[in-house]
Amino acid sequence: MNREETSNIVKELSGGALTQKEILDRLKTMDNGKKIFFTPMIDSEQQVGAAAVDVRLGTQFILFKRAKYPILDVCEDKQEDIGRYHEKVFVSLGEKLILHPQQLVLGCTLEYVRLPNDLVAEVMGRSSWGRLGLIMSAATLIHPGYAGVITLELANEGETPIALYPGIRIAQLVFYKLLNCESRPELSGTRYLGSVEPSFSRLYEDEDLEIIRALRER
């Protein structure tokens, strides 16, 4: 799903983006049914803007082993093979990760976020980073009830390497209220529930792939 499609869906589903006051109320409320869990909040004055909350870069990354494998093929590779294509890297606070031109890494937010059932959120890159060439390569829609850190697909589209520091404000979350909120279990089951580190793609779990594989066998 590209950024425009995601935004359109969000707009159709939602009653508009939450304002600064609404976001702060949701962050501070003791009513767990309405609360946006967002931890750690280091500086709300700095992070909560007019209609978005800035998120910071976490300490864990997934790097792709570019030289070792010729192709990622979700129809041919098995789930357990995924590990062979990537390596996990930890970068402490105060250290940096260099993102080279045309390199993609998976990072994550420092913050662990849990959304109530009546909100969705969209992750957007900060334009200040975009102007340096750092692109959030796909818009991420955070579903109602999601709990975990948010995986960020970070790509350097510029021509010079970019140093990434954990703890730095890297992206922002815009929250939208759902007009018709379905009743859902308290913790809705999603593939990535409870993640505390970036998650690799689980495209391999898509049921459609079985159909595609069957078609290929014919």
Task: Give contact residues for other proteins (rule: CB under 8 A).
Answer: 27-28, 32, 37, 39-44, 59, 88-90, 92-93, 110-112, 114, 147, 149, 167, 185-187, 189, 193-194, 196
Query: Smallest distance, Å, CB 93 to other proteins?
Result: 6
Local structure of 6: helix, strand or coil: helix
Local structure of 161: helix, strand or coil: coil
Q: Where are the alpha helices (DSSP H) in 50-157?
A: 127-130
Strand duo 53-56 + 60-64: pairing: unpaired
Query: Smallest distance, Å, CB 89 to other proteins?
Result: 7
Among 139, 112, 115, smallest CA distance to 125 is for 139
CB 55 within 8 A of CB 111: yes
Question: Which of residues 138 and 168 has its CB atom nearest to other proteins in the complex?
Answer: 168
Query: Smallest distance, Å, CB 112 to other proteins?
Result: 5
Question: Which of residues 114 and 121 has its CB atom nearest to other proteins in the complex?
Answer: 114
Question: Which of residues 139 and 149 has its CB atom nearest to other proteins in the complex?
Answer: 149
The b-or-e profile of 142-175 (16+ CB within 10 A means b, else e) is: bebbbbbbbbbbbbbebeeebebebeebbbbbbb
Question: Which of residues 10 and 118 has its CB atom nearest to other proteins in the complex?
Answer: 118
Query: Smallest distance, Å, CB 71 to other proteins?
Result: 26
Query: Smallest distance, Å, CB 36 to other proteins?
Result: 11
CB 61 within 8 A of CB 198: yes
Separation between Cα atoms, residue 122 and residue 113, nearest integer Å: 12
Handedness of CA 44, 47, 48, 49 (dihedral sign): positive
Question: Which of residues 159 and 186 has its CB atom nearest to other proteins in the complex?
Answer: 186
- Catalytic member of 4, 5, 22, 153: 153
- Catalytic residue flag (residue 87): no
CB atoms within 10 A of CB 131: 9
Q: Which residues are catalytic?
A: 153
